[in-house]
């Protein structure tokens, strides 16, 4: 007798129908199973065919609300002369946008138009329309605010954009500025980390704050914020000095290892030096370097807490060099150079029809030729002061710079200066409120999506419409199709249903489209040591610890340590401000969710009790945080976990104006106090480089 799957059991018990989906609430994009009854989402869990299995994080479980949130955008709208919005039809909206785009291109060239996206579904449609057909090189994700330094370090050294982690087989794991247990314990990667700990793997966490992951670590290294690079260089110094590196691997696969070894010794990046910089004692550094070099397999990696500094790129290059010099690359228990899935583009454009821009991309013109994504912190200067060249029109697709970029006030000014601004979103975000045209996008439950997943092996997720779109909202592929028709590119966007383009995208998968649709997720084999056959994707075919691509672009080919000067506190601004997220919210998809607001409905600052006592501040008080640029009032929580002299703020709340009725007015909009600060090579945001003063506020 055929076994009943748990999908079928749930359907039977709940009277539902299961439709495979994808969660796009955070960048993990987990494959999901969406259970639907009477055109309503009643339950969501992980996809049993994906590495995550059926588990999901709390944000994902609560996401069902999105499909019926009464505060979602329902109709296209255009700003009127009094600053309000008028409802218009899709035809009017798309005609207006197309007319403007054609006249702007005629007058100023296609490069003055930018398309910016974050939690996009199927970003390839806008990429093909805007870059291949309309002709602008300025199409960009939000990487500058996120993993830009990590991506560039990996590109420069491995010729690979996205390393993942094989915690499952690792015996020594060192994590820098990342808090997987504080973010999401349901992910396969984090469950593997727990399993590795149970098996006896050693966990070391480098973080100025004792995070939830640090609490479970064997060693927590509370570095002074922004000094991780010095700690990593000192570990490299010790391993070079004691010749504890993997000699055979270094000789065979590292390009410029001798230059790197000579460099760390000549620069005097000793553990003793690093103690003075980082606050971590030299014996601990020495011991950890010895242990890391001696334990196989091992891995070290990091994320936002490390990259949000102007010296984050070199910190990352050193961390990847530590993995490489100890031979811990792409094997079981190492960082993995993820194999891409064989996905095709959704539409076919003959090569001779692909537009060739006349001007360089904004990244290049701004002086960041290697930046993976456009340094969006500098976008306002392109719009307002036409530096390095003018940007006249911009699209914001589920991205909210007027709220979420540091120095966000300048983004508000930027919005006013654009000739055409279009927001495509689910909610009336701060950016949408300042746009000329607002287009409602269908939610992740109401549209199809084909995307590469983030599992370490090749993975493709295929989600399908589970319920009807709310109001007149449309999937982005239908929005791009409508716009393409108005712009005269309709011939390329020909399909009767989403299955037509999805079938084309997945034509090279080893399973049929029907099987992919039924399962919702395909995973290939997780292969190790792929470089053995193919080499690395760099010019030399080896791991470039001496980077030729950085060298050619005029940068130092070897990582150095530079102090992030604005981090250094002074008498007027004696605290270092760092930022983080909370476990229960992520981006605009969660902030109007009543279930999640029930758990946490505002953001807060965290301060060490010693500092609080000296300032007469008690737990739960409201404090004023002032930077050289602006100030904000926010609730404070006292935590021993935060180092004295540091204040951590959780961002992502404080919506005003018209954003969802449940989120509005809750918490503090903190981003105006951060100054504009950009990594000089990657163009990533130096979000954590901010010194502030703190005082008790009388404001309620």
Which residues bind to ligand SF4, rule: CB under 6 A?
A: 23, 25-26, 28-30, 56-57, 59-60, 184, 187, 586
Give the residue with the Cβ less far from ligand SF4, 275 or 301.
Answer: 301
Task: Report the DSSP pairing between strands 219-221 and 202-206.
Answer: parallel
Nearer to ligand SF4 by Cβ, of 28 and 255: the residue is 28
Q: Is the peptide bond before 297 cis (omega within 30 degrees of 0)?
A: yes
By beta-carbon proximity to ligand SF4, the closer residue of 190 and 376 is: 190
Which residue lies nearer to ligand SF4 by CB, 453 or 672? Answer: 453
**Shortest distance (Å) from residue 588 CB to ligand SF4:** 13
**Among 151, 83, 12, 178, CA closest to 681:** 151
CB of residue 546 to ligand SF4, shortest distance in Å: 37
- Cis amide leading into 388 (omega within 30): yes
Which C-beta is closer to ligand SF4: that of 184 or that of 435? 184
Q: Both tokens of residue 645?
A: 């002299």
- CA distances from residue 623 to 616, 628, 636 in whole angstroms, order as listed: 11, 16, 7
Q: CA–CA separation, 24 vs 60, rounded Å?
A: 9
Judged by beta carbon, residue 187 or residue 205, the one nearer ligand SF4 is 187
The 3-state DSSP composition of the chain as helix, strand, coil percent (nearest 5) reads: 35, 20, 45
Residue 390 in contact with residue 383, Cβ under 8 Å? yes
- In angstroms, what is the minimal distance from the CB of 25 to ligand SF4? 4
Min dist CB 70 to ligand SF4, Å, is: 22
Q: Considering the complex, state which of residue 180 and residue 686 has its C-beta at the smaller distance from ligand SF4.
A: 180
Q: Which residue number, 50 or 138, has a Cβ lying nearer to ligand SF4?
A: 50
Cβ closer to ligand SF4: 32 or 579? 32
Yes or no: say if 579 and 687 are a contact pair by the CB < 8 Å rule: yes
Cβ 656 to ligand SF4, closest distance in Å? 25
Minimum CB separation from ligand SF4 for residue 235, in Å? 31
Burial zone of 81 (CB within 10 Å; 0-12 exposed, 13-18 middle, 19+ buried):
exposed
Q: How far is the CB of 10 from ligand SF4 (least distance, A)?
A: 17
Element at 79 (helix H, strand E): strand 77-79
Please give the DSSP secondary-structure letter assigned to residue 647.
E
CA distance 279 to 283: 12
The least distance separating ligand SF4 from the CB of residue 395, rounded to whole angstroms, comes to 23
* Of 594 and 628, CB closest to ligand SF4: 594
Beta strands in 581-666 (DSSP E): 605-607, 622-626, 631-638, 646-650
690-696 and 622-626: which strand pairing? Answer: antiparallel
d(CA 66, CA 24): 11
Least Å distance, CB 454 to ligand SF4, is 9
H or E stretch at 513 = helix 513-519
Q: Return d(Cα 635, Cα 619) in angstroms, integer.
A: 9
Enumerate the H helices of 162-280 as residue ranges: 180-183, 188-199, 212-215, 228-241, 247-253, 257-266, 271-278
Q: If you ran DSSP here, which 8-state letter would residue 441 be given?
A: B
When CB distances to ligand SF4 are compared, the closest residue is 60
Nearest distance in Å: CB 138, ligand SF4:
27
Q: Which is nearer to ligand SF4, 426 or 586 (CB)?
A: 586
The β-bridge relationship of strands 254-255 and 543-544 is parallel
CB of 183 to ligand SF4, least distance (A): 8
Q: DSSP strand E in 285-430: where?
A: 298-302, 335-337, 393-397, 420-425
């Amino acid at each position: 007798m055929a076994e009943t799957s748990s999908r079928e059991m749930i359907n039977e018990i709940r009277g539902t129908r299961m439709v495979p989906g994808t969660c796009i609430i955070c960048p993990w994009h987990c494959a999901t199973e969406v259970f639907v009854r009477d055109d309503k989402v009643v339950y969501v869990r992980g996809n049993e065919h994906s590495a995550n299995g059926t588990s999901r994080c709390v944000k994902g479980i609560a996401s069902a609300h999105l499909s019926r949130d009464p505060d979602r955008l329902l109709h296209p709208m255009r700003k009127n002369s009094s600053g309000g919005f008028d409802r218009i039809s899709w035809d009017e909206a798309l005609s207006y946008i197309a007319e403007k785009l054609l006249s702007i291109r005629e007058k100023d060239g296609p490069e003055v138009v930018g398309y910016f996206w974050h939690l996009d579904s199927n970003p390839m449609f806008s990429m093909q329309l805007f870059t291949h057909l309309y002709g602008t090189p300025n199409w960009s994700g939000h990487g500058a605010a996120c993993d830009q330094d990590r991506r560039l370090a990996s590109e420069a050294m491995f010729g690979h954009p996205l390393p993942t982690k094989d915690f499952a087989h690792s015996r020594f794991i060192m994590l820098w500025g990342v808090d997987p247990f504080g973010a999401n314990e349901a992910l396969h990667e984090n469950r593997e980390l727990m399993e590795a700990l149970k098996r006896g793997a050693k966990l070391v966490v480098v973080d100025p704050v004792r995070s939830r992951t640090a609490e479970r670590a064997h060693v927590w290294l509370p570095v002074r914020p922004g000094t991780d690079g010095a700690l990593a260089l000192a570990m490299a110094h010790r391993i070079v000095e004691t010749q504890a590196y993997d000699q055979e691997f270094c000789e065979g696969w590292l390009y410029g290892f001798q230059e790197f070894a000579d460099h760390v010794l000549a620069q005097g990046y000793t553990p003793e030096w690093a103690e003075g910089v980082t606050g971590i004692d030299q014996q601990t550094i020495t011991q950890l370097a010895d242990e890391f070099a001696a334990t196989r397999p091992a891995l070290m990696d990091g994320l936002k807490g490390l990259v949000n500094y102007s010296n984050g790129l070199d910190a990352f290059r050193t961390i990847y060099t530590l993995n490489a010099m100890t031979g811990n690359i792409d094997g079981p228990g190492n960082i993995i150079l993820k194999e891409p899935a064989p996905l095709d583009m959704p539409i076919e454009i003959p090569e001779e029809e692909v537009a060739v821009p006349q001007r360089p991309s904004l990244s290049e013109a701004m002086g960041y030729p290697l930046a993976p994504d456009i340094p969006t912190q500098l976008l306002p200067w392109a719009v307002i002061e036409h530096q390095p060249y003018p940007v006249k029109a911009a699209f914001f697709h589920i991205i909210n710079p007027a709220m979420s970029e540091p120095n966000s006030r300048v983004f508000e000014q930027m919005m006013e200066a654009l000739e055409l601004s279009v927001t495509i979103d689910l909610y009336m975000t701060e950016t949408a409120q300042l746009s000329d045209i607002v287009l409602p996008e269908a939610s992740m439950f109401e549209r199809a999506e084909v995307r590469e997943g983030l599992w370490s092996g090749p993975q493709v997720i295929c989600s399908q419409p589970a319920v009807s779109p709310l109001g007149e909202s449309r999937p982005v592929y239908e929005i791009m199709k409508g716009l393409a028709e108005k712009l005269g590119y309709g011939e390329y966007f020909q399909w009767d249903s989403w299955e037509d383009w999805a079938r084309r995208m997945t034509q090279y998968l080893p399973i049929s489209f029907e099987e992919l649709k039924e399962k919702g997720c395909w995973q290939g084999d997780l292969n190790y040591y792929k470089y053995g056959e193919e080499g690395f994707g760099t010019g030399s075919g080896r791991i470039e610890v001496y980077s030729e691509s950085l060298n050619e672009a005029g940068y130092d080919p070897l990582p150095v340590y530079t102090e992030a000067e604005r981090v250094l506190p002074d008498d007027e601004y004696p605290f270092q401000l760092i930022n983080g997220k909370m476990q229960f919210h992520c981006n605009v998809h969660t902030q109007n969710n009543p279930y999640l607001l029930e758990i946490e409905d505002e953001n807060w600052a965290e301060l060490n009790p010693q500092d609080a006592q000296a300032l007469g501040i008690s737990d739960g008080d409201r404090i004023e945080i002032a930077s050289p640029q602006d100030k904000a009032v926010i609730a404070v929580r006292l935590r021993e976990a935060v180092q004295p002299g540091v204040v951590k703020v959780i961002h992502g709340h404080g919506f005003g104006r018209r954003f969802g009725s449940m989120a509005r007015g809750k918490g503090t909009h903190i981003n105006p106090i951060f100054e504009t600060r950009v990594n000089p090579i990657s163009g990533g945001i130096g979000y954590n480089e901010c010194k502030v003063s703190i005082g008790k506020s009388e404001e309620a």
